[in-house]
Amino acid sequence: MSELCYASMSDVAKRLQQKDVSVLEVVQSCLDRIEKTEPVLHALLARNAEGAITKARELDASGPDRSKPLWGVPVTIKDVILTKGLPTTAGSKMLEKFSPPYNAFVTDKLLDAGAVVLAKANMDEFAMGSSTENSAYYPTNNPWNPKKVPGGSSGGSAASVAAGQCFASLGTDTGGSIRQPASFCGCVGLKPTYGRVSRYGVIAYASSLDQVGPLTRSVEDCARVLQVIAGHDERDQTSSPRPVPDYVTGLGRRKGLDGVRLGIPQEFLGEGISSEVREVFEDVRIRAEKEGARISLVSLPHTKAAIATYYILAMAEASSNLARYDGVRFGFRASESRELLDLYVRSRSEGLGEEVRRRIMLGAFVLSSGYYDAYFKRAAQVRRIIRDEFTRVLQECDALLAPVSPVAAWDHGSNANDPLAQYLMDAYTLSLNLAGLPGLSLPAGLGKESGMPIGVQLIGKAFFEEDLLAVGHALERILPSIGNPSM
């Protein structure tokens, strides 16, 4: 394998600027890696090899541009993010033939920064799932062990980064879909504060929770990608006008973990956590303490209500967002139908997968008159309580330290027929989406039983990504390196 593929993005970006290596060489090494690994991984949907080579030649001909921080850097993009002229399916048969007429805000930002898009990354249909097994096309395999799932819903993004197919990928996180696959595949994933990154051109799942973020192989690379995609966008009304700090320079603002106050939510270490995840987490705690971090247990008493709250709200929003796929205006249309209602029913029944249909039905139910007060309204109230609890504990800490998932990557098929079992696995990730807070997942070790990567999560204050990344950068240095998968 060419060494280049596993170089850090920050190094490669520097070498490209210095013309120490050409864009074509870098792009070609990633394309070779894709050729070699895709027959096993299935991490990618639409590929853009020709477009990438053409772009690489153009960039090499015009020469490095210092104003473009990702000049010549190959990336992949989750297939829920619109890419003009490159098919965007959201992992659904419903959008099989959809080629967007415009780019998402984040796609434009990457291109403006000089990045080269190699492919779209596989995902659970409409970002609903935790294993990428809900993709309408094929499941993605974990580069550490193809019998295991890569996590989800951004499983294709995480697998492509971990396997050295690209230097960074964009994912989306509604209830953990960046952080959990990052943890399962052994890479770094950041879910930014709600409103930090524009959702314009991102196919909606649950709009009050969805957020785009980077998956990379280091915290520094993550800061560099966030720097490019963060910022105000008037086309997303929830986009924040707050100025974007310099995340890369900010990495140096913590000279280590000395004196950093980390709170561990005690509710995240209870029942259901596997012994190998507990062990890795305990090791992280001891290492951090040795480096001078001040660690305390904190309490988020409503954690037990978070899963129910999240799934009620996410399904309600999904049922409304996905109403547009009616067989008339977008995407798939059933070939035989008798009249209009029949066309809607057939198109939605045939074009949408089982999990998506389940969520639309449950979402419509919790919004229906007679049940709205009991479910939707209550969930919205509990969401507020959860947010207030986070705000309270974050007043006394710099960040919270927690596991990402109660288990390491599971075997394909093992949870596939039990949606509730999968929903329960999201216990440690989804509550901060409800609170709108940023969360950073870092690889922390390999599980003793499974041999699979296990991540740890830092949760920060709203819009304090600068400090969250700085603490993550300091923590990363003291965690054991898990290396790269041998494939």
Alpha-carbon distance of 128 to 213, in angstroms, equals 17
Residue from 135, 141, 160, 174 in contact with ligand GLN (CB under 6 A): 174
Residue type at position 29? S
- Contact code string over 56-95 relative to ligand GLN, x by CB under 6 A: ----------------------------------------
Total site size for ligand GLN, rule CB under 6 A = 13
**Which among 177, 239, 240, 441 is annotated as catalytic?**
177
Q: Is 218 a catalytic residue?
A: no
Helix (H/G/I), strand (E/B), else coil: 402: strand
**Residues 175-214 contacting ligand GLN, CB under 6 A:** 175-177, 205
Residue among 74 and 439 whose Cβ is closer to ligand GLN: 439
* Residues 270 to 329 in contact with ligand GLN, rule: CB under 6 A: 314
Tell me the two tokens of residue 243. Answer: 């100025």
Binder to ligand GLN among 10, 132, 153, 211 (CB under 6 A)? 153
Q: Cβ closer to ligand GLN: 128 or 212? A: 128
Binding track, positions 103-142, relative to ligand GLN; x by CB under 6 A: ------------------------xxxx------------
Structure tokens at 141: 């395999």
> Which of the stretches 57-65, 172-180, 222-230, 392-400 binds ligand GLN when contact is defined by CB under 6 A?
172-180
Structure token pair of residue 197: 């990154």
Report the interhelical angle of 105-112 vs 219-229 (nearest 10°).
110
Cβ-contact 6, 164 below 8 angstroms: yes
Segment contacting ligand GLN by CB under 6 A, of 169-177, 214-222, 298-306, 408-416? 169-177
Catalytic site residue from 131, 135, 153, 160: 153
Q: Smallest distance, Å, CB 426 to ligand GLN? A: 5
Task: Give the CB-nearest residue to ligand GLN.
Answer: 177
Among 108, 173, 317, 467, binds ligand GLN (CB under 6 A): 173
- Looking up tokens 């785009």 gives 212
CA distances 21 to 14, 30, 49, 218, Å, are 10, 14, 19, 21
Contacts with 426 (C-beta within 8 Å, 6 or more apart), sequence order: 130, 175, 176, 180, 307, 310, 405
Tell me if residue 177 is catalytic: yes
The CA-atom distances, in angstroms, between 360 and each of 11, 89, 116, 308 are 45, 18, 36, 16
CB 157 within 8 A of CB 60: no
CA angle 446, 299, 455 (to 5 degrees): 15
Query: What string of DSSP letters covers 184-199?
Result: HHT-EEEEPPTTTB--
153 is catalytic: yes
> Which of residues 4 and 458 has its CB atom nearest to ligand GLN in the complex?
458
Residue 83 vs 130, nearer CB to ligand GLN? 130
399-403 and 261-265 as β-strands: parallel, antiparallel, unpaired? parallel
Structure tokens at 131: 């294993």
Q: Which of 80, 157, 48, 67 is nearest to 112 (CA)?
A: 67
Nearer to ligand GLN, 175 or 472 (CB): 175
441 in contact with ligand GLN (CB under 6 A)? no
Q: Exactly one of 55, 78, 120, 148 is catalytic; name it.
A: 78
Interface with ligand GLN by CB under 6 A: which residues? 127-130, 153, 173-177, 205, 314, 426
Kindly list the catalytic residues.
Answer: 78, 153, 177
